[in-house]
Amino acid sequence: MRISLSIMYIILGKNGYIAEAIIKELTSRNLHHISFSRSDFDYTDFEKFSNYAHIHYNDLINPFKNATIINCAGYIGKPNVDACESSKADTIVGNVVFPSNLAAFCSQNYATLVHISSGCIYNGYSKHFTEEDPSNFDFQNGSFYSGTKALAEQLILKQDPNSYIFRLRIPFDEFKSPRNYITKILNYNKLLNAENSFSHRADFAKYTIDLLESKAPKGIYNVTNKGSMTTEEAIEMIKDHKITNKNFEFFDNLETFTSEVVAPRSNCVLDTSKIENQIKIRTVQEAFSDALSKYPKN
């Protein structure tokens, strides 16, 4: 008997940093899921995606009907967002064209889209940004990457107002990785002291599935830990956990830091009231301390 995709979570971009955490969360809960990488087959070609599903799954009915498609694919720039400034076409295709077409595909096929967005579409401390606030850090006054993430949110909701958009912000966890905020700041020679929201990577995956399994109302959610943390506070906690005894140097001000990077960086705090009305989340300090207690010491 063939299994229908409709009972499954479908993860796109399976080799990515965030996809890895979501797949781990689904596996630990024994929830049916299937994940695709472009190296398996080109899921960004919707005809191929559709044909693949019809051939491998239930070919009598629409295999996508009632499926939940979690889009973890995107062009983030490596080693950092500066790379998006010099690869604008790839950034647009990966972050705007594909997700917007995917939203139209989900709408046509009665599937639920879950798109991973970013809190980096905001900057500044005039307020804690809610899901309703328009982006203030985009093509005009932010980075090209943040511009694409902000534009994608608008296009997705136009194509399929029944989508979920989950915003992640500065991921960290206990695993040494160039993608982990803890590993990143340990390796920088000079740091900018700024206050930000953060998402523990496994918490982000857990909260994503908690929201979906509890059938939270569709729409945008800031999926971060509660509260915020400054870079100085993070360094203090890192030292308290005896991860390093390095003496960190700080930039005198934002202007000096900005003059040393290609793309401006977002610094902001997201409001988490909306997610807290649906599920329980832990504070960034609790999650950061937990990650540090397991992070390799050397």
Ligand X SMILES: NC(=O)c1ccc[n+]([C@@H]2O[C@H](COP(=O)([O-])OP(=O)(O)OC[C@H]3O[C@@H](n4cnc5c(N)ncnc54)[C@H](OP(=O)(O)O)[C@@H]3O)[C@@H](O)[C@H]2O)c1
Among 72, 83, 275, 284, binds ligand X (CB under 6 A): 72
CB burial readout 137-176, b (16+ within 10 A) else e:
bbeeebbbbbbbbbbbbebbbebbeebbbbbbbbbbbbbe
172 binds ligand X (CB under 6 A): no
First and final C-alpha spacing in the chain: 52
Q: Quick one: 62 or 105, whose CB is closer to ligand X?
A: 105
Considering only 15-23, 126-134, 270-278, 287-295, which stretch makes contact with ligand X by CB under 6 A?
15-23
Give the other-Cβ count within 10 Å of 193's Cβ.
18
Q: Which residue is nearest to ligand X (CB)?
A: 16
In whole angstroms, give the CA distance from residue 142 to residue 32.
39
Choose, by CB under 6 A, the member of 24, 38, 226, 239 that binds ligand X. Answer: 38
Is residue 37 part of the contact set for ligand X (CB under 6 A)?
yes
CB of 77 to ligand X, least distance (A): 9
Rounded to a whole number of angstroms, the minimum distance from the CB of residue 168 to ligand X is 4
| Residue among 16 and 63 whose Cβ is closer to ligand X | 16
Do the beta carbons of residue 182 and residue 238 sit within 8 Å? yes
Residue 70, beta-bridge partner list: 11, 114
42/46 Cα distance (integer angstroms): 8
Tell which one of 17, 46, 248, 251 touches ligand X (CB under 6 A).
17
Give the number of other Cβ atoms within 10 Å of residue 219's Cβ. 14
Sign, CA torsion 217/149/66/203: negative
Task: Using CB under 6 A, count the residues that bind ligand X.
Answer: 24
Surface-to-core class of residue 121, CB atoms within 10 Å of its CB (0-12 exposed, 13-18 middle, 19+ buried): buried
**Which string of x and - marks every residue 152-171 that binds ligand X (by CB under 6 A)?**
----------------x--x
Find the shortest distance in angstroms from Cβ 239 to ligand X.
24
The residue from 63, 94, 147, 227 that contacts ligand X (CB under 6 A) is 94
Binders of ligand X among 192-251, rule CB under 6 A?
none
Residue 187 engages ligand X in binding (rule: CB under 6 A): no
The answer for residues whose C-beta is within 8 angstroms of residue 31's C-beta and 6 or more apart is 9, 209, 213
Q: Residue 179 Cβ, how far from ligand X at the closest point, in Å?
A: 6
Subset of 112-141 contacting ligand X (CB under 6 A): 116, 118
Residues contributing to the site for ligand X (CB under 6 A) = 13-19, 37-39, 72-76, 90, 93-94, 116, 118, 149, 168, 171, 179
